[in-house]
Structure 1
Amino acid sequence: MMALGGAGAVAATGVAGEAEAAAPAIPAKVVHHVFFWLKNPGDATDRAKLIAGLRTLAGIPALRGLHIGVPAPTEQRDVIDSSWDVSELMFFDTVADQKAYQDHPIHRAFVAECEKLWRKVTVYDVLSA
């Protein structure tokens, strides 16, 4: 194993620093990532209805960012789970803001309208370290 010292350490630090500086800033400190499995997997109409419902959530004031996606056709590996149909990735400033989102009438209407479309939902809530 070779240790970095002198100019090598500076160069390695400089590269890492440049990579960090080039990365876009995370818009908030709480990440809410939800994965949906449709009752009718592969049904384009049901998927479109769910995506349309998810888009309504953008009207919730506490939300700092929203990304809606479907599984990417990337290389299949043991560590990749692409069994889900639709995901939403949301950003909030605080845990209290995420709670306000959960209780917001737009979110409640989304659940009431769209829950008939999914058979399973998995949520990952992440606090920035």
Structure 2
Amino acid sequence: MKALEKKLVHVVNFYLKPGLSEEDRKRFETGISSLHTIDDITIFNVGKPAPVVDSPTIDKDYDYCMLCVFENLEAHDRYQAHPVHINFIEQCKQYWSRVVVFDSETI
């Protein structure tokens, strides 16, 4: 059996500031969606908490969740320094109160 190549998975939960206008939320969505243009990302998804049945193990207190998969650590590091990523942070950091990042390496 052939071993799978390890990937780097980058999950970011955004907690937006209370009281943002719908226009501010749209600006945030436009900004975060721009990240999909970065070539080093092999899988990209942005979403909001799903309307699933509540459970003690389900956390729905974030506003947006972003998932990126990279081929390796080097691709992740290039993404971190990419001008589109830097621009997103500069243009949108005013909208969030907290960001939680989970980086994992596939096994």
Common fold, TM-score beyond 0.5?
Answer: yes
Structure 1 residue 115 and structure 2 residue 71: aligned? no
Residue 41 of structure 1, CA deviation: 5.8
Whether the aligned pair in 2 keeps the contact of 1:40 and 1:46 (CA below 8 Å) is no
Structure 1 length normalisation: TM-score? 0.74
**Higher alpha-carbon Rg:** 1
Whether the aligned pair in 2 keeps the contact of 1:60 and 1:106 (CA below 8 Å) is yes
Task: Name the SS for the 2:41 alignment partner.
Answer: coil
Residue 67 of structure 1, CA deviation: 0.3
Higher-strand-fraction structure: 2
Residue 48 of structure 1, CA deviation: 2.1
Matched residue pairs, number? 102
Q: How does 1:21-60 map to 2 (within 5 A)?
A: 29-40=7-18, 43-60=21-38
Percent of aligned positions with the same letter in both sequences? Answer: 31
Structure 1 residue 77 and structure 2 residue 55: aligned? yes
Higher-helix-fraction structure: 1
What residue in structure 2 maps to residue 66 of structure 1?
44
The root-mean-square deviation of aligned C-alpha atoms, in Å, is 1.5
Q: List runs of 5+ in structure 2 lacking aligned partners.
A: 1-5
